[in-house]
Structure 1
Amino acid sequence: MRALRQTAKFTRNHNAKVLISRFSPASSHKPCNSSNYAEGNYARYQNITRGYVFFLYKSSSSSRPFLGCRSLCFNMGNTTNKSEHNGTFPNQDSRGSDNTGINVVNDKVAVVVSDDIFESDLEEDLVQISDNPLDSQDAEMASCDAEGKNPTSPLFKILMKAPQCSVKNILQKWIEDGNMVDRGEVLVTLLKLQKLRLYRKALQFVEWLEATKCLNFTEYDYASHLDLVAKVHGLQQAETYINKIPESFRGEIVYRTFLANCVSRLNVKKAVEVFNTIRDVGLPISTFSCDQLLLLYKRVDKKKVSDVLVMMEKESIKPSIFTYRLLIELKGNSYDINGIEQIVEKMKAEGMWPDLMIQSMVVEYYIFAGFSEKAEAALKEMEGDDIKENRDACKFVLPLYASLDKASDVERVWKVCEAKPRRGESLAAIEAWGEVGCVDKAEEVFEKTLKLGNKVSSKFYDALLRIYAKNKLLFEGEDLVKRMKENGYKIGPSTCDALVNLYVGVGEVNKADLILQKEARKNGIRPLHSSYMTFLKEYAKRGDVNNAENVHQKLRQAGFRNRMKLHELLLEAYLNARIPAYGFRERMKADNIFPNKKLAELLAAVDEFRMTQIAQSVELDDSLSYLFKTPVAVS
């Protein structure tokens, strides 16, 4: 654990692309009270950013991967809470007391969303934070189910058709018609509703289940209800609901669900309070809860990551695979390759072999740090003796070979999959061919995927659109978006982001802004952080201070927090406009932003314009001073 604690000894924040994947829990369980699921294997679908578990049927022949960690979601319709550290951190103090904590009242922390791992800027984190913790492709597949393209439950169909104002009445009538509520069907229905982000309807469904006592609620059921209340109504009402849960069911699962929601909103004060409550009521501290604190402090105060690791070591809490992924990400963001390798060795010593996702993370950090030979050696290890026998590795190694600009290896690996590609492999191949500049081959894979049948995820369209944007193929990009709409796809935040890059790349900045505003209003979406940053980078390059400041204001209004990169770009706009940035230091201080080396250099550079203006003003005053001299009387 000492090696892991060293992860927190750095504070530098570099832009990097971070990967998070699905994972398969080691254990499987049968769902309770389900007569319809007597045969077959059961997969435990666990969303590690939430406090509940779904039990779903998985046939023996299915190769569909388990749901796993994605990013935490924001509260739909609510503004992220502005919070500071205030309270105690769960740990022992210097006197050895078991229930006291490290005082963090006086710490000043800039509460920011860390560079989102699903966007190019590192806020663009384990939060990019995406608005949906579940995979968007799964959501679209659920949408296909709702349209009747795949078999689905009658209960889900009824809920999809029901108006939001009459969900409970329709459910009651359904029961009166002689239908039965089955636990397995209920859990499948809830999962699909959440995939489609129909949180309010899912909440009404759960409230009806609890009120009518159609099911005997367990702690997991109460935790699911709590999670939906937090999503729809916010943390305050979720906390009120906890007090309504019977005390016998108010266990660690319930509290850690609430903790995960506090973390997703970056509410440090409330998260620490909930963690201490788990300890105070005598419940065990799980690895899940510790991972949530690590995720929180990774975003708001990396120095406190070591405090969590110390506490885990003292209380003999073993790190999970997610713990190691977080620590590798932290090391990777500081380009600490030796630190990454120590963490991997620590994993192996603990009997936890790095999975393909962790191996791909390590390779990507090798590439970012310029260790190409190490990256190639690690890629060969990921492939194994025969890539054909290790097919699962294909979708991971394709984009990595592309990052190394090895088109021959991309082609070699793709040939293994080409005859009968899986969707994940096809998406990876499109992105890889685009990375190495083979637009025609990316288009070929895209068209082949569409011909396989069934509605594919919008991710495929977005991937090809980004390739067009990178290569400034405006007309091809516009045709693709038109085709996308004709095929019934809605324009989401990711597609808007690709469109912004397309138009900004060819110099159509105003058109990009108009399209973003139009699609955001039409589809009720919040643009991604990276979309705003694309505009900001362009305005900074042009020295367009007014528009750069407008983008900064839009970022604030959209709920995104200020970060170092944002202030750097604003200063670059002032620098390229050759005008002083009056009051900029005070603005940074108000935002809890402390300048790094690059920011300090930019501040010094724009200060020179202020001194130039002062010197010019003094010279002007001297040259005009004769006008204000008192005339001397002639005797």
Structure 2
Amino acid sequence: MASRALIKIFNHSKTSLTGIRIILARTYWSTENPVTRDDLYFRINAVTDPHCSVTPVLQKWIEGRSHVKESELRRIIRSLRSRRRYSHALEVSQWMSSNGSRFSSGDSAVQLDLIGRVHGLISAKSFFYSLKEEDKSVQTYSALLNCYVQEGLVDEALSLVKKMKEMGFLTSPLPYNDIMCLYTKTGQHEKVPDVLSEMKRNGVSPDIFSYRVCMNSYGARADYNSMGKVLEEMNSRRDIKRDWLTYSVVANYYIKGGLKEMGIYYLKECEKLCKTAEGFNFLISSYATLGIKDEMERLWALQKVKCKKHVNRDYMTGLSSLVKLGELEEAESLLEEWELSCTTFDFRVPNALLIGYCQRGLVEKAEAKLQDIIKRRKTANPSSWSIIATGYAYNNNMEKAFECFNEALAVQAENRDWKPKESLISSILSWLGENGEIEDAEAFVNSLKSKVPINREMYHALLKAYVRNGREVEGLLESMKNDKIDEDEETMKIISLQK
């Protein structure tokens, strides 16, 4: 089964809602058919809460059955990993290895990768070193290397690569690509081309990903001439099939560099190879960045024809692009179109318009739109309320920002992965310390504890509120001490204001 570990080299870029992703395909198993509709898969898939175990589902499934096919378990693991349900995928993998299934080196590599994602590097290393030497294959070494890359550990990764070289494991582009990704991740772009050169010296042919990462390294340094030469070398290789993603890297850097004509040229080259919705979303967002509305609209229509329909992700791109162009009325119409056609309501779609309103100072309109959605959809998402709170904070209406952020905290169960912005939290804590009631400050800090570890800033807000209202602070100082937060100069300054 082909398993993918996605290494995101770029964060969301300014030219695209989804950003430009460099994707490294890591094959641990042989390719099989995709997951078919069977009871076990759908029973496991129904357990959507990551905090709930799927082991009881597996145990119940084999009651009365002699076994479950290993190929079926591998398909389930692959599907769960592709949807980032790593904890459940790890459970299935560990159940598979402890219940008499044949466990290949590929299976071990996948389990190592999952352990790293769920429990961290130390646990992944412990698992690797617990394997018998004969079970440590190029696949398991590569999986451990990928863990080092994700943690940005250069020395450890290079040491492991050296050992892999001694064992004769550097026969494919994969480990070289990992090191290039690591240098990219740690901002050492100048070292990437040397890795590509070493790969070629050692008789290993670069793949399309190798060239893409190298082009990115030159683009990040605005070395357009070298970036073009790498592209030219890649195009001279008949065994490499060109793809839209590689051209998107080149186009993106020309656009970021303000070289509009070259950017458009490579967007056209990108379009020639574009067959997926993700590719069209990149093009649509890029033309919006360039302010070319006609091309954006043409590609939106073409995407619908080529990809049969627009899904939530596509509408997010469309809305963000219209907002970028300042076309709020058209964005409103597109949102209405989405609401009529969507089968799964995703708050990230209307959030694109809410952000647009707030960026233009129309915070009250954004809140009214959200309230309207809530009336029809019943439960909001914390990220939506956070957007409104940020808008009010930016316009110095901290009372409303506080009110809306409390709404976000109240519905945080709707999105457990929601992470409130530190800057917004700081603004509200500062305001509460200077202006808020003690009860409000205490309630806010208590609510925050479920999302953010208790810190000095929270205590300072409480101290300011206590001092301002004539309340004794000895209990708070004792709590600070218990939470291992030392008093600093700012703490003493606040306390000195006591009457």
- CA displacement 1:395-419 (0-9 Å, x = unmatched): 3322122111122222333333457
Retained in 2: the 8 A contact 1:504–1:535? no
1:434 to 304, 317, 323: 323
CA distance in 2, matches of 1:489, 1:188: 34
Q: Could you say which residue in structure 1 is the equivalent of 2:11?
A: 117
Mapped pair 1:349 → 2:236: yes
Instruction: Indicate conservation of the 8 Å contact 2:148/2:154, yes or no.
Output: yes
Distance in 2, Cα, partners of 1:175 & 1:329: 49
Partner of 2:355: 466
**Partner residue, 1:328:** 215
What CA distance in whole angstroms lies between the structure 2 residues aligned with 1:168 and 1:347?
A: 47
**Which of residues 231, 246, 253 is equivalent to 1:358?**
246
Write the distance in 1 (CA, Å) between the matches of 2:19 and 2:418. Answer: 17
Q: CA deviation at 1:486?
A: 6.6
Matched, 1:227 2:164: no
CA distance in 2, matches of 1:346, 1:537: 51
C-alpha separation in 1, matches of 2:109 and 2:180: 22
The answer (yes or no) to whether the contact 1:291–1:322 under 8 Å persists in 2 is yes
Q: What is the alpha-carbon distance in structure 2 between the residues aligned to residue 190 and residue 489 of structure 1?
A: 32
Within 5 Å, which residues of 2 pair with 1:613-628?
none
- Give the match for residue 369 of structure 1: 257
The 3 A distance-change label for structure 1 pair 222 and 490 is: farther
SS at match of 2:225: helix
Q: Does the 8 Å CA contact 2:390/2:424 hold for their aligned counterparts?
A: yes
Displacement of 1:170 = 4.7
Q: 1:369 to 1:158 in 2, by over 3 A?
A: closer
**Distance in 1 separating the partners of 2:75 and 2:272:** 37
Match in the other structure for 2:196: 309
* Worse-superposed segment, 196-205 or 331-340: 196-205
The residue that corresponds to 1:71 in the other structure is 8
1:413-452 → structure 2 map (5 Å cutoff): 413-417=299-303, 421-423=309-311, 424-452=313-341
Look up the match of 1:527.
419
Letter in 2 for 1:316: G
Matched, 1:400 2:292: no
For residues 233 and 473 of structure 1, the distance between their equivalents in structure 2, rounded to whole angstroms, comes to: 43
**Code of the aligned partner of 2:198:** M
Structure 2 match to 1:245:
131
* Contact kept in structure 1, 2:319 and 2:335, CA below 8 Å: yes
Deviations 1:554-607 (A, max 9, x none): 9xx989xxxxxxxxxxxxxxxxxxxxxxxxxxxxxxxxxxxxxxxxxxxxxxxx
Residues 1:125 and 1:511: Cα distance change in structure 2 (over 3 Å): farther
Change (3 A) 1:182 1:517: farther
Judge which range, 269-278 or 177-186, deviates more. Answer: 177-186
**CA-CA distance at 1:251 after TM superposition:** 0.8
| Distance in 2, Cα, partners of 1:175 & 1:394 | 45
Q: Aligned AA for 2:283? A: V
Taking structure 1 as reference, are residues 406 and 484 closer, same or farther at Cα in structure 2, changes over 3 Å only? farther
* Counterpart among 147, 154, 158 of residue 268 in structure 1: 154
CA contact (8 A) 1:497 1:527 kept: no
Residue 215 of structure 2 aligns to a residue in which SS?
helix
- Taking structure 1 as reference, are residues 256 and 414 closer, same or farther at Cα in structure 2, changes over 3 Å only? same
Shift of 1:509: 5.7
Deviation string, structure 1 residues 476-535 (Cα, Å, up to 9, x no partner): 433454536974877476x5774565334433467557766874794454637xx44688
* Residues 80-229 of structure 1: pairs in structure 2 closer than 5 A: 117-118=11-12, 153-158=39-44, 160-161=46-47, 167-178=54-65, 180-194=67-81, 197-213=84-100, 215-229=101-115
CA 464–211 in structure 1, closer or farther in 2 if over 3 Å, else same: same
- Is the contact between residue 287 and residue 318 of structure 1 (CA under 8 Å) also seen in structure 2? yes
Q: Distance in 1 between matches of 2:364 and 2:332?
A: 14
Distance 2:422 2:48 in 1: 37
**Whole-angstrom CA distance in 2 between matches of 1:283 and 1:121:** 38
Q: Is the 8 A contact 2:284 2:317 kept in 1?
A: yes
Give distance in 2, aligned partners of 1:269 and 1:127.
25
- Equivalents in 2 of 1:290, 1:513: separation in Å? 49
Equivalent pair of 1:520/1:526 in contact (CA under 8 Å):
no
The answer as to whether partners of 1:263 and 1:292 remain within 8 angstroms in 2 is yes
In 1, are the aligned partners of 2:113 and 2:124 still within 8 Å (CA)?
Answer: yes
Cα offsets for 1:254-310 (capped at 9, x unmatched): 111111111111222322232223223332343121121111112325143344234
The code of the aligned residue for 1:403 comes to T
Whether 1:378 and 2:378 are equivalent positions in the alignment is no
Identify which of structures 1 and 2 has the higher relative contact order when contacts are C-alpha pairs closer than 8 Å and 6+ apart. Answer: 1
Write the distance in 2 (CA, Å) between the matches of 1:264 and 1:514: 38
Q: Please give the alpha-carbon distance, in whole angstroms, between the structure 2 residues aligned to 1:304 and 1:383.
A: 31
- The change in CA–CA distance for 1:372 and 1:170 in structure 2 (over 3 A counts) is closer
**1:139 alignment counterpart:** none
Task: Encode CA deviations 1:597-623: one digit per residue, 9 max, x unaligned.
Answer: xxxxxxxxxxxxxxxxxxxxxxxxxxx
Name the SS for the 1:117 alignment partner.
coil
Q: What TM-score, normalized to structure 2?
A: 0.68
Structure 2 CA distance for partners of 1:159 and 1:457, relative to 1, 3 Å: closer
Q: Provide the rounded CA distance (Å) in 2 between the counterparts of 1:384 and 1:189.
A: 35
Letter in 1 for 2:63: E
Q: Residues of 2 paired with 1:346 and 1:460: CA distance?
A: 40
Closer/same/farther in 2, CA of residues 515 and 241 from structure 1, 3 Å limit: farther
What are the residue-to-residue correspondences of 1:546-625 with 2, within 5 Å?
A: none
Q: Cα RMSD between the aligned structures?
A: 4.4
List per-residue Cα deviations over 1:36-76 (Å, max 9, x = no partner): xxxxxxxx4x42xx3xxxxxxxxxxxxxxxxxx4528xxxx
Q: Which runs of 5+ in 2 are unaligned?
A: 27-34, 429-447, 454-499
Q: 1:193 to 1:492 in 2, by over 3 A?
A: farther
In structure 2, the CA distance between the partners of 1:532 and 1:358, relative to structure 1 (3 Å rule), is farther
Deviations 1:286-340 (A, max 9, x none): 3121121111112325143344234213212222322233223222223332232
Distance 1:301 1:357, change over 3 A: closer
- SS of 2:419's equivalent in the other structure is coil
Tell me how far apart the structure 2 counterparts of residues 369 and 464 of structure 1 sit (CA, whole Å).
28
CA contact (8 A) 2:389 2:401 kept: yes
**Cα distance change of structure 1 residues 462 and 304 upon mapping to structure 2, 3 Å threshold:** same
C-alpha distance in structure 1 between counterparts of 2:82 and 2:369, whole Å: 26
Are the equivalent residues in 2 in contact too, given 1:347–1:353 (CA < 8 A)? Answer: no
Counterpart code for 2:208: I
CA contact (8 A) 2:90 2:111 kept: yes
The percentage of counterpart residues that share the same residue type is: 22
Give unmatched runs, 5+ long, in structure 1: 1-30, 32-43, 51-68, 73-115, 134-144, 539-553, 560-635
The structure in which a higher percent of residues are helix is 2
Q: Which amino acid in structure 2 is aligned with residue 468 of structure 1?
A: Y
Query: How far apart are the structure 2 equivalents of 1:318 and 1:297?
Result: 20
Q: CA deviation at 1:448?
A: 2.1
